[in-house]
């Protein structure tokens, strides 16, 4: 299944089929499967004995999309995910893993169809609820920067942001999106938030939350809030590159436990 059609987009998809439990892996805003590998966020690397589905979200990487901000709201991305799961793993429970925007997408999908998920590994949850308004304003300003000064100015502004200590060894990377679509992606993110707390608290799905320190865009406070809401959860916080290097092993253990 190299591509999959959803309303308004063609998704680029890859399936590593080694039998076993189905797993779906997502990525973050402005990233892709390829970029997440460079950022050490490809937790599915070396995940053997599973059917691992990876894909680029609409407008990202090799997937197409429209310059329509509403297309990139997390609730819409969750609809894409559920359609893809219906086609790839019909009638089966899957384990979902993904960072940032991927976490938002998974939670929106899980509160809508909790029976589809055997477990979740939520990676660097983004700003949410009380902390989301300020971040949404940042995204709107960034969209204007791209439109007035170009992608290079957006990238340079990103390089000035503080880097979490756990990512000290990762290389500089460029957004894996087109300059034409980037403003729409950012405005869609500005329109997005995690589902309401009461809906998350009702999720009877085992969840591991992986966070890291000193990242205002992915604050530990969101991870702690989710851990306090979800009835079956554990929280791991990375402070060093060595902590980050353990995350693929944690995913393997999650899949083995929940499969």
Enter the pTM of the model: 0.97
pLDDT at 205: 96
* Res. 85: pLDDT tops 70: yes
Cα→Cα distances 199→111, 194, 196, Å: 6, 10, 6
- Quote the tokens at residue 45: 């690397």
d(CA 37, CA 18): 20
d(CA 80, CA 58): 8
pLDDT at 1: 53
197-253 pLDDT, tens per residue? Answer: 999 999 999 999 999 999 999 999 999 999 999 999 999 999 999 999 999 999 999
Which are the contacts of 26, defined by CB distance < 8 A and separation ≥ 6? Answer: 55, 57, 81, 96, 97, 98, 99, 101, 102, 105, 106
Model confidence at 259, in pLDDT bands (50, 70, 90)? Answer: confident
The residue-averaged pLDDT of 37-60 equals 94
* Res. 102: pLDDT tops 90: yes
pLDDT at 247: 97
Average pLDDT, the chain: 96
Model confidence at 61, in pLDDT bands (50, 70, 90)? Answer: very high
CATH class of domain segment(s) 3-258: alpha beta
Other Cβ atoms less than 10 A from the Cβ of 14: the count is 14
The residue-averaged pLDDT of 65-88 equals 98
Cα→Cα distances 61→5, 12, 162, 233, Å: 15, 8, 25, 31
The residue-averaged pLDDT of 23-35 equals 97
Closest CA to 259 of 108, 51, 44: 51
């Amino acid at each position: 299944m190299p591509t999959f059609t959803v309303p308004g987009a063609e998704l680029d998809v890859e399936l590593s089929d080694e039998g076993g439990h189905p797993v779906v892996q997502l990525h973050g805003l402005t990233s892709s499967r390829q970029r997440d590998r460079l950022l050490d966020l490809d937790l599915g690397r070396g995940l053997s004995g599973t059917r691992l589905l990876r894909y680029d979200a609409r407008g990202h990487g090799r997937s197409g999309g429209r310059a329509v901000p509403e297309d990139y709201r997390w609730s819409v991305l969750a609809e894409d995910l559920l359609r893809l799961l219906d086609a790839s793993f019909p009638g089966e429970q899957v384990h979902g893993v993904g960072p940032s925007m991927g976490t938002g997408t998974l939670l929106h999908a899980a509160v809508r169809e909790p029976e589809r998920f055997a477990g979740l590994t939520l990676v660097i949850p983004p700003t949410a609820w009380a902390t989301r308004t300020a971040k949404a304003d940042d995204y709107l300003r960034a969209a204007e920067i791209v439109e007035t000064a170009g992608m290079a100015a957006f990238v340079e502004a990103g390089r000035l942001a503080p880097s979490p200590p756990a990512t000290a060894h990762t290389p500089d990377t460029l957004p894996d999106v087109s300059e034409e679509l980037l403003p729409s992606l950012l405005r869609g993110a500005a329109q997005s938030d995690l589902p309401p707390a009461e809906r998350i608290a009702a999720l009877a799905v085992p969840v591991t939350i992986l966070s890291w320190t000193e990242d205002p865009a992915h604050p530990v406070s969101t991870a702690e809030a989710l851990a306090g809401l979800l009835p079956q959860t554990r929280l791991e916080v990375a402070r060093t590159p060595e902590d980050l290097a353990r995350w693929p092993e944690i995913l393997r253990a999650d899949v083995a436990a929940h499969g």
